[in-house]
Amino acid sequence: MKKTVFILSGLILYMLSAAQTKQPVDYADPLLGTSESRWMLNPGATMPFGMVQLSPDNQGGVWKSGYEYSINNIGGFSHVHSWTMAGLSVMPTVGVLNTRRGPADGPTTGWTTGYRSRIVKESEKASPGYYAVTLMNGNIHTELTSTTRAGFFRFTFPEEEDAHILLDLDIPFENTADILDAKITRVSDTQIEGYSKQKWSWNEYTVHFVVRFNKPIQGFGGWIGNTVNKNVNQVAGKGPMGAYADFKTKKGEVILMQTAISLVSIDQAKLNLQAEMDPFKWDFDAVRRNARSVWNNLLGKIKIEGGTEVDKKKFYSNLYRSYVARTTWSDVNGKYVDVNERVRQTDPRYPVYGSDALWNTFWNLNQLWALVNPDLTSKWVHSLLEIYKTGGWLPKGPAGIEYSGIMEASHEIALIVGAYQKGIRDFDTALAMQAMIHQQTTPGVKTPENGFAGNRYFESYMKLGYVPNEEGQVSNTLEYAYDDWCVSQFAKALGREDVYRQFIKRAGNYKNVFDTTVKYIRMKGRDGSWVKDWSPYCCTSFNGPGYLEGNAWQYSFFNPHDVQGILNLMGRSEFNDRLDKGFEKSARYNFNADGDLYDLVPINHGNQPNMQAAWLFNYSGKPWLTQKWTREIMNKYYGATPYHGWLGDEDEGQMGAWFVMAAMGLFQTNGGASVKPFYEIGSPLFEKITIQLDPAYYKGKRFTIIAKNVSDKNRYIQSAQFNGRPLTKPWFYHEDLVAGGSLVLQMGPAPNTKWGSSPEDAPPSMSSNKEHNNF
């Protein structure tokens, strides 16, 4: 009996020790949320904002294509998973050569079905910077890792086989591109190079690539359409095409393959490969360890203590997603291709980035990046200004460094202004001011590539003070007014009173579309009349009149810079009652409008327009409801499995960043763009959260958030102290956080309705704080 107790005690101590040595990177799970996820969010091997994002693909050219966890096959491992962009898919096979991928929903055996392979699901492993799986066709164990611009494959063949490694340029995805011109050439016994010029809608780009093996190629060929050319050294043409390298493998043999890409040229791809892979030689595990180290250092900037293992998994997986989906498009030496398809040279310290829109990232990514990685925020600002210098406009979502026109308004302005206000000022502020004024005073234009630069409907907005229903979405009025306010705050910080006066006046334009008789933001005609065929839950719009990806209910709370202004128009009682009832109703749907049916639920956390909703109670005298509902969203909307990570559209890290901020109990409704940025307080998920502050930007070493007695039940703040002094308001200034110190919250099971609930306790708004109104 004593021996049994001793063994059990030892086992418990071992398990506790193992738990204590677990690193942040060990909690981040790239497979989390990969069912019903977008092309840009996958389980593959990538670095933060990686150019190369090696990942398995198993779907056809459909919405939310790429990798679907519930599909038990793989059709290739491709390099580019950026919004509207793809490139260079790789697939190892054995036996008779087959150059067809095969249908995603068909059988995966037989000549007619293609080279797609079922997988051994138990063999599938993913961690930041690494992915592995065993392909059942040939039992090939395939492993992937990467640097920022280069990829590394390790293929293990268990039997003596005729092996083929396919390089397929025709990749089905959300925005499947046409191949206009391509060429793949065998340049030596171990190296292949090529390019693929591709186009989808307005986005035309060329993926140049180099591929090298650790052992000689025994045969080479290629295909265009259904025509296969064997024993050639080059394949060139247009349309669906690819190439293959043949090997005769021995039992248990490992083939290593390194790759790199560039949008500039093949020579630049070679340079990327040499710079990023040569230091590791052919050591796959060394590259994997490097990727793990980079990710662990990034994730480790926030240390969490307490909470459940599931909560920790959710926290670090969401933090990981906040840095994984956007893309570096400049090469190691700073060369890149600008919006006019010209090769440019920039400072290699400041990469040029591509992404989906920065639409409402002021409610998630902006505030997370600026707090935890101000160096990366600085690089984003430099990237946006570089695109302005060469293209003449700030980009909304610079996919492949093009003006996409996605989405509405110009919320990249909020990112730049928020950076400056938080002390991230190592950029050309005069150029930034020039760019913002141009963006907010010049009607947008269609680009030669059929994209769009600037703001749509802007001429009417500047003339009428709102976007008329005959022309576009009334909701754009609110978004333009917010950007106007951001410009006013930047001008105020720079001492530009003339610019401040111009834009602070326009920041109140949201009032022009608020119908005081019904107390909602309402569609309005050019003649000033309200649209009659209307209801609070109507008129979601993607193009034309209505509310962009939302409804009147949601947009009536959309006023990031002036929550007090909406409170004044709606009335405090109506504001609180409507908002709380909206949460009660939406909780039944886990705060998500399934199937993108945005009209159906009030609180749709699965899309951008009202991700701030739970934080608004801090302004309306009921901060305990912010504590309640932020916690409910963290519990219901967010999960910890491949099937339940995020219920809606994760949109390149936005949902992830919101969770991280909420789990720390911090938020910035106005995007942190005020002259003195501040954080609103919610309900932290953990007993202790330590943020390591970057000494290059912030003078404090660290900031600690302690939530005493916290649990899912004890989610309500009873009292608060900031650096040892009582804090009676549900907010505090950014400058105080980055000076270092601590926020200590005493938590309990019932709301303290007296804490932070007086009108004077509310966070600053344009209509409530003279400091923010006067120059």
Rounded to an integer, the average pLDDT of 14-41 is 84
CA 495 – CA 491 distance, rounded (Å): 6
Three-class secondary structure assignment of 465-531 = CCCCCCCCECHHHHHHHHHHHHHHHHHHHHCCHHHHHHHHHHCCHHHHHEECCCCEECCECCCCCEC
Are 355 and 652 contacting, i.e. CB atoms less than 8 angstroms apart? yes
Rounded to an integer, the average pLDDT of 513-517 is 98
Q: Please enumerate in sequence order all residues whose Cβ is within 8 A of that of 601, keeping only pairs 6 or more positions apart, or say none.
A: 585, 586, 589, 591, 592, 593
pLDDT at 7 over 80: no
pTM here is 0.95
Q: What is the DSSP letter of 468?
A: -
pLDDT at 271 over 60: yes
Rounded to an integer, the average pLDDT of 727-752 is 98
Strand order in the sheet with 741-748: 302-305, 688-692, 702-708, 741-748, 716-722, 725-726
Rounded to an integer, the average pLDDT of 398-425 is 95
CA 96 – CA 91 distance, rounded (Å): 14
Beta pairing, strands 741-748 & 702-708: parallel
> For the chain, what percent of residues have pLDDT higher than 90?
90
Beta pairing, strands 547-548 & 540-541: parallel
Residue spans per domain, the chain: 26-298
pLDDT at 257 over 50: yes
Say which amino acid occupies 663. Answer: A
Rounded to an integer, the average pLDDT of 116-145 is 97
The per-residue pLDDT for 773 is 54
pLDDT at 5 over 50: no
CATH class of the domain comprising 26-298: mainly beta
The per-residue pLDDT for 450 is 86
CA 437 – CA 234 distance, rounded (Å): 51
User: How crowded is residue 178: how many other Cβ atoms within 10 Å of its Cβ?
Assistant: 13
Residues 153-167 have pLDDT tens digits of 999 999 999 999 999
SS3 499: helix
Q: What residues does 85 pair with on adjacent strands?
A: 82
Residues 581-617 have pLDDT tens digits of 999 999 999 999 987 788 889 999 999 999 999 999 9
Are 518 and 569 contacting, i.e. CB atoms less than 8 angstroms apart? no
CA 35 – CA 575 distance, rounded (Å): 36
Rounded to an integer, the average pLDDT of 630-636 is 98
CA 80 – CA 364 distance, rounded (Å): 25
The per-residue pLDDT for 6 is 46
**Percent helix, strand and coil across the chain, each rounded to 5?**
30, 25, 45
CA 39 – CA 324 distance, rounded (Å): 12
For 279-373, where are the alpha helices, taking DSSP H only?
Answer: 284-299, 309-321, 365-372
